[in-house]
């Protein structure tokens, strides 16, 4: 399931975030790569634990906490502290799959990576190339969103970033462990949640059908969730 999260960051949050990370010290992006990814990855990254990384990540996490769409789609149990990367001209990230377990450097915090997220931080017209390409059963899904928008997709999917041919692509990326491990179950819950929200808008929250469907949603979540 690939889901776009429009306007995760508003203009003010985006400006504050860019001021912080643009002033940071960037290093080779392979500092967080596994053995397979290191063969395909060409970019720069803010070091984990740096002031810019922590302050920028806090802005992303605050925005996630205020996004009902993100919660409905991800049903997050644990979120890895957001990381930041940038691609200059000629840089790319070849086809790879994200590590199943992500461990935060210098801590015992770890998650099972069920979902990956990319938050786009550069206007799409400011660079060429740099598309996120996610492979699923329906073929390739190519994603290049406005600054402040995000995309959520299964960490188990093959994906890559196409070469940047002009300008610079800047983004945040991270992973999360969902309360619901199975991607198909999460999709069913998300579709049901969105239907309930639409019916609530049409019929009101006290309508009997809305109440019953809300009960179905929570009973399915109760059956499938590890929380």
pLDDT in tens, 20-40: 999 999 998 776 555 555 567
CATH code for position 163: 2.60.120.620
Note whether 77 and 167 are same-domain residues. yes
Q: Does one domain contain both 141 and 213?
A: no
Least confident stretch, 4-8, 38-42, 150-154, 194-198:
38-42
The CATH number covering residue 199 comes to 4.10.860
Owning domain of residue 144:
3-178
Q: What is the pLDDT of residue 105?
A: 86
Rounded to whole angstroms, how far apart are CA atoms 132 and 93? 9
User: For residues 5 and 148, what is the distance between their CA atoms, to the nearest angstrom?
Assistant: 9
106 shares its domain with 196? no
**Alpha-helix runs per DSSP H in 75-163:** none
User: For the chain, what is the domain count?
Assistant: 2
Model confidence pLDDT, tens digit, residues 91-109: 999 999 999 999 998 889 9
On whether both 214 and 165 belong to a single domain, the answer is no
Residues 81 and 152 in one domain: yes
Q: Do 139 and 201 fall into the same domain?
A: no
- Using left for φ > 0, alpha for ψ between -120 and 50, and beta otherwise, residue 86 falls in beta
């Amino acid at each position: 399931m690939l889901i776009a999260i429009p306007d995760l960051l508003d203009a003010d949050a985006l400006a504050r975030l860019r001021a912080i990370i643009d002033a940071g010290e960037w290093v080779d992006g392979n500092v967080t790569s596994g053995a397979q990814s290191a063969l395909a990855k060409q970019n720069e990254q803010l070091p984990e634990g740096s002031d810019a990384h922590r302050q920028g990540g806090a802005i992303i996490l605050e925005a996630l906490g205020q996004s009902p769409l993100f919660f409905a789609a991800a049903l997050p149990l644990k979120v890895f502290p957001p990381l930041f990367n940038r691609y200059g001209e000629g840089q790319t990230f070849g086809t790879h799959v994200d590590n199943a377990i992500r461990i935060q450097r210098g801590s015992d915090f770890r998650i099972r990576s069920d979902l990956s997220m990319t938050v786009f931080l550069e206007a799409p017209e400011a660079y060429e190339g740099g598309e996120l390409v996610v492979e699923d059963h329906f073929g390739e899904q190519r994603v290049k969103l406005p600054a402040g928008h995000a995309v959520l997709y299964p960490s188990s999917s093959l994906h890559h970033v196409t070469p940047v041919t002009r300008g610079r692509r800047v983004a945040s990326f991270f992973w999360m462990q969902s309360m619901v491990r199975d991607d198909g179950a999460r999709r069913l819950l998300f579709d049901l949640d969105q239907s309930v929200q639409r019916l609530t808008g049409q019929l009101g929250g006290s309508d009997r059908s809305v109440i019953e469907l809300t009960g179905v949603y929570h009973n399915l979540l109760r059956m499938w969730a590890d929380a």
